Amino acid sequence: MPALMVIMKLFEHDNKAFYYATNVSKQGIEYISYLSFIKSKNSEQAIRYVIDTTCTDNRTNCSLKKAELEEKFLC
């Protein structure tokens, strides 16, 4: 299954634009990347961070709690 990138703009606040994206890939094991990006509306300054998570053993039922991960990493 090819990777699926979902990009969403969360909100604007204090002259900043807040974005996040998730990238899900299943090629033997499930692999999820989270990207957060905050851009100043008054300058070219921005900050981003990326967090990758995966189950390391595809022989067991690894249940990544996506909602919990998104709450922790993207908010």
Query: Rounded to the nearest 10 degrees, how much is the dihedral formed by the CA atoms of 71, 6, 21, 55?
Result: 60
- What are 48-68's pLDDT values in tens digits? 988 888 877 667 666 667 777
Phi-psi region of 14 (alpha: psi -120 to 50; beta: other; left: phi over 0): left
* Predicted confidence (pLDDT) per residue in 15-50, tens digit: 988 888 888 777 777 778 888 888 999 999 999 988
Q: List the helix and strand counts (H, then E) for the chain.
A: 1, 4
CATH superfamily for domain 4-74: S-adenosyl-L-methionine-dependent methyltransferases (2.20.25.110)
